[in-house]
């Protein structure tokens, strides 16, 4: 009855099918096959990635929960923990940008509050094709509106994020969403059923035919027929999720439940197998009791629906009524659909008949793991020979073009649509660098950032992975915070292609090496494979989410210049490396060469210098050069300062002017200090062997760069700022163009 056609529709190989038959002890029926298909999909099983992910460092004295749960947990002292995680929603966002992104936010929020934490911050990492193309504009407009609609309504601030633009993302936008929650250490909840006899409750939205086979869809390439193959798109209901959030936190606060799991990918299937599997139990449910939005749903539709805003709860039988009353207060039903059993099987009844009877451990733990063939990427090309590129004739014009490039330009058009202040913890507004949140009732602060340059990882996967970690940590160091934990979202093409698997392996090893150097644990993450459309893979795009702690909020530093007449000091050094830079891409039209090199020890020394200088109160502003190099970095410091304080920087030779201005050499931080503190900062650098020099001073109304006294750039700060501010809004000026009637 199960023929190859059915198998391929379920995205299972004949070998996997044979294993299923052995594990179940007979031929599975279609519902059971659907269960295996979803849970053994790449998206849920990590069957291609697990052997590599094992290399990541996950331990540490503050780690309360590493990978393996809905989110990671780090102890931040005072009886409190932070719970955080990043997730991708790339495929759904391509199909329907608004709902895809919105439900991505809904999903990551549930991952956090299902553990007992109140979500206090969201961040988003986005990749789109160039905005010259109206299709890309419309995708971006929809994605941003979707994130905004969900996050704003539920009342969790979107405090930061990042966005890059590149042709490879035209047919495959990336939408990664990060969420962080705060919990009391003694009120953490896990996806467990505990003892046999416990009740199993279904809470939240009714089940409809939404996103059926979403998990296996995220585990397939998109082809031309994708448009027609669209499953039912899930629609997010942030209002319902807000009720669910409050009700769940209430039953947890009162310790009325023993375990809980959200229903995201693979829906009821995932929760009814993972929860008992983790407790070594089974579950028996009656599918007829599952609240349904549509008439005539079949057992496999009920089991595989990805309707949003639902949770599965296990509680002691004598608590059922109290739990139901707590949900009723929030106008939600909590329906007892079954109970925990001792036999380790998932058994589902439907109209009195048993329609599913499978061992949960087979579904959850016995998916075959693959060591997919990988092809080491070609050796990174030698450092680009800078001499091949003609020197620009017009330096002012070159800086202007870079400031107007979508990847560099101001992202206010995006973050103004996000409520980034609700919950009244946002101490530094979005715009530059890391997000900074105060913790009410404490002098400590939380700092967080997302980072990942896909072009670097494309040109040299290992270095790209390392740089993503280094840069994220550097962003924290600029504020004055030390990293405490890492989550990551690895966006790649088809893992069945050896070259993609090779990129994956290298990136993971790079991340791993950098995290070991910085001694930070990876507490979780997400892998999104099959980001290919019509056979073309995206650049390998690791996105690192790093969370840091500030001991004293009052000492936090921002990137904007503070006053005229202060010294501008460059920690670190600029090297002759133009490969992979935004400058090469925008001005010379090339995406090539080796990305900037990274010496992890040097990186550490530079960050330590900055951290110590901030701790001693010697630093007035700090910002690190990234896309666009030193020139763009200094310009941003000017733009973020009050009233547009300009600067004059005099560069010393040794390299071509374009290298000095626009190279993206790592391990550099631009700080400003009062005149009387210069020597102290330089001494701190010297102690750690970090090159450091005063390269200019703040003041005036222009952005001025000279090379050994000879003017290169002299641009009115106000004019430059206008270019940088208006670049993205210009694309969306024709109001409503991409509204799609919404």
Partner 1 sequence: MRVRILVSLKASVLDPQGQAVRNALHTLGYKAVEDVRQGKVFEVDLAGLSRDEAARLVPEIAHKVLANPIIETYAWEILEE
Partner 2 sequence: MKFGVVVFPGSNCDFDTVHALREVIGRPTEILWHKDHDLRGADCVVLPGGFSYGDYLRSGAIARFSPLMQEVREFAEKGGLVLGICNGFQVLLELGLLPGAMLRNKGLKFLCRFVTVRVENAGTRFTNAGRKGQVLRMPIAHFDGNYYADPAVLEDIERNGRIVFRYCDPDGRLTDEANVNGSLHAIAGLTNARGNVMGMMPHPERASEAILGSTDGRIVFESLLRAIAS
Ligand X SMILES: Nc1ncnc2c1ncn2[C@@H]1O[C@H](COP(=O)(O)OP(=O)(O)O)[C@@H](O)[C@H]1O
* Residue number, 264 or 485, with CB nearest to Mg ion: 264
What residue 522 binds from ligand X, partner 2, Mg ion, none (CB within 5 to 8 A, per partner kind)?
Answer: ligand X
Residue 604 interacts with partner 1 (CB under 8 A): yes or no: no
Position 70 contacts Mg ion (CB under 5 A):
yes
Beta carbons within 8 Å of 313's beta carbon, 6+ residues apart: 200, 201, 202, 203, 251, 257, 259, 260, 323, 334
Residue count of the chain, please give it: 742
305 vs 574, beta carbon nearer ligand X: 305
Q: Which two tokens stand for residue 237?
A: 């209901």
Residue 425 CA to residue 210 CA, distance in Å, equals: 36
**CB nearer to Mg ion: pick between 119 and 264:** 264
Torsion of CA 467, 468, 471, 477, to 10 degrees: -120
Q: Interface with partner 2 includes 512 (CB under 8 A)? A: no
Q: How far is the CB of 704 from partner 1 (least distance, A)?
A: 40
Tokens for 466, please give them.
Answer: 């390392």
Which residues inside 551-580 make contact with partner 2, applying CB under 8 A?
553
What is the DSSP code string of 546-600?
EEEEES-GGG---SS--STTPEEEEES---S--TT-HHHHHHS----SPPPP--H
Q: Which of partner 2, ligand X, partner 1, none interacts with 148 (beta carbon under 5 to 8 A by kind)?
A: partner 2
Among candidate residues 10, 52, 89, 655, the one labeled active-site is: 89
Determine the size of the site formed for partner 1 (CB under 8 A): 31
A 10 A CB-CB count for 317 gives: 12
| Window 328-367: contact mask with partner 2 (x via CB under 8 A) | --xx------------------------------------
β pairing state of 80-88 and 174-184: antiparallel
Q: Which is nearer to ligand X, 156 or 692 (CB)?
A: 156
Dist. CA 538–CA 691, nearest whole Å: 37
**91 lines the binding site for partner 1 (CB under 8 A):** no
Instruction: Tell me the C-alpha to C-alpha distance, in Å, between residue 484 and each of 112, 125, 447, 473, 479.
Output: 18, 20, 10, 10, 14
Sheet arrangement for strand 435-438: 426-428, 435-438, 445-451, 541-550, 482-491, 522-528
| Residue 111 contact partner, candidates Mg ion, partner 2, partner 1, none, CB within 5 to 8 A by sort of partner | Mg ion
Q: Is 319 in the site for partner 2 (CB under 8 A)?
A: no
Estimate the crossing angle of helix 267-279 against helix 30-39, to 10 degrees: 70
Q: Is 428 considered catalytic here? A: no
**Contacting residue, 237, 627, 658, 664, with partner 2 by CB under 8 A:** 237
Shortest distance in whole angstroms from residue 118 CB to partner 2: 10
Binding of residue 729 to partner 1 (CB under 8 A): no
Interacting stretch for partner 1, rule CB under 8 A, among 90-98, 125-133, 481-489, 555-563?
Answer: 90-98
Instruction: Give the shortest CB-291-to-partner 1 separation in angstroms.
Output: 13
Residues that bind ligand X (CB under 6 A): 44, 46, 53, 56, 67-70, 111, 264-265, 488, 490, 522, 524-527
Determine the distance from the C-alpha atom of residue 157 to the mean position of all C-alpha atoms in its chain, rounded to a whole number: 15
The verdict on 103 binding partner 1 (CB under 8 A) reads: no
CB of 162 to ligand X, least distance (A): 17
Distances 688 to 572, 598, 674, 692, 695 between C-alpha atoms, Å: 11, 17, 21, 11, 20
| 735 contacts partner 2 (rule: CB under 8 A) | yes
Considering the candidates 43, 52, 213, 428, report the single residue annotated as catalytic: 43
Task: Report d(CA 587, CA 585) in Å as an integer.
Answer: 6
- Which of these, 267, 375, 274, 273, lies nearest to 311 by C-alpha position? 267
Cβ atoms 52, 504 nearer than 8 A? yes
Residue 56 interacts with, from Mg ion, partner 2, ligand X, none (CB under 5-8 Å by kind): ligand X
Among 440, 675, 737, 740, interactor with partner 2 by CB under 8 A: 440
Asked whether the CA dihedral 127, 129, 130, 132 is positive or negative, the reply is negative
213 is a catalytic site residue:
no
- For residue 133, the minimal CB distance to partner 2 (Å) is 21
Strand 702-707 vs strand 647-651: parallel, antiparallel, or unpaired? parallel
d(CA 568, CA 641): 14
Nearer to partner 1, 209 or 349 (CB): 209
Interaction residues for Mg ion, span 104-133 (CB under 5 A): 111
The listed partner (partner 2, Mg ion, partner 1, none) that binds 553, CB under 5 to 8 Å by sort, is partner 2
**Rounded CA separation 21/12 (Å):** 13
32's tokens: 């059971």
Instruction: Write the CB contacts of 230 (distance below 8 Å, at least 6 apart in sequence).
Output: 95
The DSSP output letter for 742 is -
Residue 155 in the binding site for partner 2 (CB under 8 A): yes
Q: How far is the CB of 111 from partner 2 (least distance, A)?
A: 20
Give the containing element (helix H, strand E) for 245.
helix 238-253
497-556: which residues touch partner 1 (CB under 8 A)? none
List the one residue from 26, 230, 371, 686 that touches partner 1 (CB under 8 A). 230
Kindly state the tokens that stand for 615.
């701790």
**Residue 67 touches which of partner 2, partner 1, ligand X, none (CB < 5 to 8 A by kind)?**
ligand X
Structural tokens at position 414: 């995006």
Give the interface segment with partner 1, choosing from 225-233, 435-443, 526-534, 590-598 (CB under 8 A): 225-233
Which of 227-235, 345-353, 457-465, 628-636 is the region at the interface with partner 1 (rule: CB under 8 A)?
227-235
What is the per-residue binding string for partner 1 in 183-222, x denoting contact by CB under 8 A?
A: ----------------------x--xxx------------
**DSSP label at residue 263:** -
Helices (H), 25-129: 30-39, 42-45, 50-53, 90-95, 97-113
| DSSP structure class, residue 315 | E
Q: Which CB sits closer to Mg ion, 193 or 512?
A: 193
Among 90, 273, 308, 426, binds partner 2 (CB under 8 A): 426
Nearer to ligand X, 274 or 677 (CB): 274
- Our finding on whether 421 is near partner 2 (CB under 8 A) is yes
Q: How many Cα neighbours within 13 Å face the side chain of 244?
A: 30
State which H helix or E strand residue 410 sits in. Answer: none
Question: Interface with partner 1 includes 31 (CB under 8 A)?
Answer: no
Closer Cβ to ligand X, 234 or 488, answer by number = 488
Asked if 349 and 355 touch (Cβ cutoff 8 Å), the reply is yes
Tell me the per-residue interface mask from 299 to 328 with partner 1, x by CB under 8 A, - otherwise. --------xx--------------------
Cα 11 to chain centroid distance, Å, stands at 27
- In this chain, which stretch among 80-88, 93-101, 562-570, 715-723 interacts with partner 1, using CB under 8 A? 93-101
Footprint on this chain of partner 1 (rule: CB under 8 A): 95-96, 98-99, 205, 208-210, 230, 232-237, 239-240, 293-294, 307-308, 331, 734-742
Footprint on this chain of partner 2 (rule: CB under 8 A): 145, 148-149, 152-155, 237-240, 242-243, 330-331, 415-424, 426-427, 429, 438, 440, 553, 735-736, 739
Footprint on this chain of Mg ion (rule: CB under 5 A): 70, 111, 264
- Which residues form the catalytic set? 43, 89
């Amino acid at each position: 009855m199960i023929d190859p056609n059915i198998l391929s529709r379920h995205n299972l190989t004949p070998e996997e099918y044979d294993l299923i038959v052995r594990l179940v002890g007979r031929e599975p029926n279609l519902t059971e096959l659907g269960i295996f298909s979803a849970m053994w999909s790449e998206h849920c099983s990590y069957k291609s990635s697990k052997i590599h992910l094992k290399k990541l460092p996950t331990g540490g004295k503050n780690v309360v929960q590493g990978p393996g749960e809905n989110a990671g947990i780090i102890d931040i002292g005072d009886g409190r923990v932070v719970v955080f995680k990043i997730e991708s929603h790339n495929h759904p966002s391509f199909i329907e940008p608004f709902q895809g992104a919105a439900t991505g936010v809904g999903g990551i929020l549930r991952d956090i509050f299902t553990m007992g934490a109140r979500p206090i911050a969201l961040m988003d990492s986005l990749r789109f094709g160039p905005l010259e193309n109206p299709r890309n504009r419309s995708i971006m407009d929809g994605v941003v509106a979707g994130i905004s609609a969900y996050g704003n309504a539920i009342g969790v601030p979107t405090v930061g994020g990042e966005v890059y633009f590149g042709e490879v993302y035209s047919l495959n936008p990336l939408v990664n969403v990060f969420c962080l929650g705060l919990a009391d250490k003694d009120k953490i909840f896990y996806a467990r059923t505990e003892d046999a006899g416990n009740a199993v409750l279904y809470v939240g939205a009714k089940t409809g035919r939404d996103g059926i086979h979403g998990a296996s869809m995220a585990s397939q390439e998109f082809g031309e027929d994708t448009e027609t193959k669209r499953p039912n798109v899930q629609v997010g209901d942030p209002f319902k999720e807000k009720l669910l959030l409050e009700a769940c936190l209430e039953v947890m606060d009162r310790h009325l439940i023993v375990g809980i799991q959200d229903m995201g990918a693979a829906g009821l299937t995932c929760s009814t197998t993972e929860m008992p599997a983790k407790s070594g139990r089974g579950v028996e449910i009656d599918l007829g009791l599952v609240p349904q939005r549509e008439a005539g749903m079949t057992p496999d539709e009920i089991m595989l629906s990805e309707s949003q805003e639902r949770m599965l709860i296990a509680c002691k039988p004598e608590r059922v009524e109290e739990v139901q009353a707590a949900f009723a207060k929030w106008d939600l039903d909590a329906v007892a659909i079954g109970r925990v059993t001792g036999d380790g099987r998932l058994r589902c009844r439907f109209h009195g008949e048993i329609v599913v009877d499978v061992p949960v451990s087979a579904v959850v733990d016995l998916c075959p793991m693959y060591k997919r063939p990988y092809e080491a990427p070609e050796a990174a090309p030698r450092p680009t020979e800078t001499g091949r590129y003609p020197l620009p004739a017009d330096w002012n014009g070159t800086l202007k073009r870079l400031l107007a490039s979508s990847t560099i330009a101001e992202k206010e058009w995006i973050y103004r649509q996000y409520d980034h202040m609700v919950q009244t913890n946002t101490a530094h507004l979005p715009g530059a660098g890391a997000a900074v949140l105060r913790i009410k009732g404490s002098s400590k602060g939380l700092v967080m950032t997302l980072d990942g340059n896909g072009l670097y990882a494309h040109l040299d996967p290992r270095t790209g992975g390392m740089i993503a970690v280094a840069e994220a940590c550097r962003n924290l160091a600029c504020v004055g915070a030390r990293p405490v934990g890492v989550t990551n979202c690895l966006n790649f093409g088809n893992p069945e292609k050896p070259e993609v698997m090779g990129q994956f392996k290298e990136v993971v090893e790079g991340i791993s090496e950098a995290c070991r150097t910085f001694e930070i644990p990876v507490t979780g993450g997400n892998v999104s494979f099959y980001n290919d459309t019509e056979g073309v893979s995206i650049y390998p795009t690791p996105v690192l989410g790093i969370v840091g702690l500030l001991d004293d909020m009052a000492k936090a530093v921002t990137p904007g210049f503070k006053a005229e007449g202060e010294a501008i000091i460059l920690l670190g050094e600029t090297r002759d490396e133009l490969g992979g830079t935004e400058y090469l891409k925008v001005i010379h039209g090339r995406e090539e060469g080796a990305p900037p090199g990274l010496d992890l020890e040097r990186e550490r020394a530079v960050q330590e210098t900055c951290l110590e200088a901030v701790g001693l109160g010697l630093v007035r502003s700090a910002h690190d050069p990234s896309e666009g190099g030193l020139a763009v970095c200094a310009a941003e410091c000017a733009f973020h300062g009050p009233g547009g304080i300009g600067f004059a920087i005099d560069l010393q030779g040794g390299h071509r002017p374009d290298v000095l201005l626009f190279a993206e050499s790592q391990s550099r931080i631009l700080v400003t200090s009062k005149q009387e503190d210069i020597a102290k900062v330089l001494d701190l650098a010297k102690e750690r062997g970090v090159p450091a020099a005063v390269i200019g001073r703040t003041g005036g109304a222009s952005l001025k760069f000279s090379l050994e006294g000879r003017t290169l750039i002299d641009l009115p700060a106000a004019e430059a700022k206008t270019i940088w501010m208006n670049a993205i809004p210009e694309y969306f000026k024709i109001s409503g163009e991409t509204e799609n009637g919404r």
